[in-house]
Amino acid sequence: MTEAGNRPPDKPKETIYYYSRERRLERASEGVRSLNAGSYARPTLRKVLFGTRGNVIMFASFVVICVIGVAISFFTRETPPGNAMTIGRNSLTLVILRLDEALILGITKNAPASGEFFTGDVDLALSPANPATAGEETEGDSQVFSHRLHFRPTAIETFYISLPFEGDDFILVMRAAEEQRTIRLRATDAD
């Protein structure tokens, strides 16, 4: 007799598997049977987006979120302070600020990220849009302030120019090489 824990060395026991592929496939769903047969068709985009109720809800949620995002960005976008123009492929932001009783013309130049852009002298002429409110002047005498800037080959430059005028409404003419731009500016209080 042998002890319970010790077994006489027998021949190795064979493992018997009770697995029948055909029987498993008989009980499988239609999708699994079609995958096994190789006749499974890839789902179309329409079926992926609208095939189930959950997919429809997910797609509708995505569309609603996109619409809300576009609406928020449209209504909250910031306009540049003052006005903007382009001269010599340089983007300019222009503003006339009122500090106490003085007026300051602020010009911020942004060069394009790539390509050529204008560098060199830029002439500007500024005059009140309504000369009668610009101060005391005699008939036939118009107030024009002229100045020359020099654009360097840097990405961003800022210029501040003190103006000898009073008033709120001005016309600015800028000329760079063969290009000339005119813009109307209104003075704003500096914060």
Q: What is the pTM of this model?
A: 0.53
The predicted pLDDT at position 174 comes to: 92
pLDDT the model gives residue 81: 46
Helix, strand, coil percentages (3-state) for the chain, rounded to 5, are 25, 35, 40
Four-CA torsion 157, 158, 161, 166, nearest 10 degrees: 140
* 9 — pLDDT class (breaks 50, 70, 90): low
Mean pLDDT of the chain: 82
Strands 179-189 vs 90-99: parallel, antiparallel or unpaired: parallel
Q: What is the arithmetic mean of pLDDT over 26-39?
A: 82
- Beta pairing partners, 186: 169
pLDDT tens sequence across 71-83? 888 777 654 445 8
Q: Which domains does the chain have, with CATH numbers?
A: 21-76 (no CATH), 83-189 (2.60.40.10)
Q: How far apart are CA 145 and CA 165, in angstroms?
A: 9
Give the burial class of 99: count Cβ atoms within 10 A of its Cβ; 0-12 exposed, 13-18 middle, 19 or more buried. Answer: exposed
Higher confidence at residue 41 or residue 5?
Answer: 41
Lowest mean pLDDT among 79-83, 150-154, 186-190: 79-83
Neighbours of 36 (CB within 10 A): 13
Give the start-end residues of each E strand in 77-134: 83-87, 90-99, 102-110, 120-128
